[in-house]
């Protein structure tokens, strides 16, 4: 059977990891939501950084549709798929600079593994021009057609929390990462700006948020200028200081303790924004 060829993690040309980022659970929960105050979108920096349990204490009904390595091309797919259904009153768009530099292959594979297949997802997969995506696409289709299931092995140090958040317990030792230059791809800039226009067309207020990580960009001023020009931008690398030995799971993701601080910090911003928009 074709599906039996599929080898997760062992074949460089095939990838199928439906458990990555708990996406399948997240999408299933999203389909059940009827009322929503705040929608979070973006990469794993989104779903690992904002704890809905804390936001609920501020009377905010939130949901996180971040996915692993989600670039702006995949954000466009998710917005078109869920914006009408969820109809949020406010959007928090997480903008990790690396997502502007990515080819989107990892994120596309992540969605292929965990989301129901449709024309838009197939079209996006084909547009990558990537052999790994093509091979995975064929094998995933075979699994879906035959109804075969892959046993999902979720990391023991992680836990999915209703609302789209992934809680990471403990501290992971990690190597330092050198500072780098921000070199965005034009297709990602185009997709990002298209996403903002899509949100504006729905008259939904939004803020742009950068979650903390442990290195810097050498042309940081260029990033700040670009994002400040695109909307109300909060760079929490500057706004809060977190000890990397205590509050991070790796060099660019917060652990649960770090996420709690960030969530508590951003909650009043969200409440104020909701008040300003008369919701």
> Of 33-42, 80-89, 139-148, 201-210, where does mean pLDDT reach its minimum?
139-148
Q: Is the per-residue pLDDT at 259 higher than 70?
A: yes
State how far the Cα of 217 lies from the Cα of 225, in Å rounded to an integer: 13
Per-residue pLDDT band at 114 (split at 50, 70, 90): low
Calculate mean pLDDT across residues 165-193. 89
Mean pLDDT of the chain: 84
Which has more pLDDT, 123 or 160? 160
> Of 69-78, 108-117, 208-217, where does mean pLDDT reach its minimum?
108-117
Per-residue pLDDT band at 175 (split at 50, 70, 90): confident
Question: Exposure of 194 by Cβ count < 10 A (0-12 exposed, 13-18 middle, 19+ buried)?
Answer: middle
For residue range 18-48, list pLDDT tens digits in order.
546 688 889 899 999 988 999 999 999 999 9
What single-letter DSSP state applies at residue 137?
H
Using alpha carbons only, give the angle 108, 92, 125 rounded to the nearest 5 degrees. Answer: 10
Q: Supply the pLDDT for residue 24.
A: 83
Per-residue pLDDT band at 125 (split at 50, 70, 90): low
Q: Is the per-residue pLDDT at 65 higher than 90?
A: yes
Q: Supply the pLDDT for residue 17.
A: 54
What single-letter DSSP state applies at residue 164?
T
Calculate mean pLDDT across residues 148-152. 59
Q: Supply the pLDDT for residue 187.
A: 94
Q: Supply the pLDDT for residue 129.
A: 62
The reported pTM is 0.86
Edge-to-edge strand ranges of the sheet holding 206-210: 62-64, 38-41, 90-94, 206-210, 233-235
Q: Supply the pLDDT for residue 131.
A: 67
Q: Supply the pLDDT for residue 14.
A: 42
For residue range 215-224, list pLDDT tens digits in order.
999 999 999 9
State how far the Cα of 52 lies from the Cα of 198, in Å rounded to an integer: 25
DSSP letters for 55-88: HHTTT--EEE---TT--HHHHHHHHHHHHHHH--
State how far the Cα of 104 lies from the Cα of 232, in Å rounded to an integer: 25
What single-letter DSSP state applies at residue 217?
B
Instruction: Name all domains of the chain by residue range, CATH numbers in brackets.
Output: 2-276 (3.40.50.1110)
Tokens, residue 211: 């979650």
DSSP letters for 145-157: HHT--PPP---TT
């Amino acid at each position: 059977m074709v599906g039996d060829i599929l080898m997760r993690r062992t074949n460089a040309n095939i990838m199928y990891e439906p458990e990555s980022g708990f996406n399948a659970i997240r999408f299933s929960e999203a389909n059940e939501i009827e009322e929503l105050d705040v929608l979070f979108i973006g990469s794993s920096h989104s779903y690992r950084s904002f704890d809905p349990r804390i936001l609920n204490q501020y009377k905010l009904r939130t949901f996180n549709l971040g996915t692993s390595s989600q670039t702006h091309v995949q954000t466009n797919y998710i917005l078109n798929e869920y914006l009408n259904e969820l109809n949020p009153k406010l959007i928090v768009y997480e903008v990790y600079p690396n997502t502007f530099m990515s080819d989107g292959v990892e994120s596309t594979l992540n969605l292929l593994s965990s989301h129901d297949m449709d024309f838009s997802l197939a079209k996006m997969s084909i547009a990558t021009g990537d052999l790994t995506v093509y091979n995975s696409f064929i094998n995933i289709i075979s699994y879906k057609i035959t109804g075969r299931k892959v046993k999902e092995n979720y990391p023991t140090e992680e836990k999915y929390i209703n609302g789209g958040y992934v809680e990471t317990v403990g501290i992971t030792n990690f190597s330092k990462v050198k500072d780098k230059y921000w070199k965005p791809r034009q297709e990602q800039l185009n997709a990002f700006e298209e996403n903002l226009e899509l949100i504006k067309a729905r008259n939904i207020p939004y803020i742009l948020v950068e979650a903390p990580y442990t290195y810097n960009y050498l042309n940081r001023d260029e990033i700040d200028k670009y994002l400040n020009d695109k909307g109300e931008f909060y760079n929490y690398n500057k706004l809060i200081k977190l000890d990397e030995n205590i509050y991070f799971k790796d060099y660019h993701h917060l652990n649960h303790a770090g996420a709690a601080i960030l969530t508590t910090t951003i909650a009043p911003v969200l409440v104020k924004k909701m008040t300003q928009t008369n919701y």
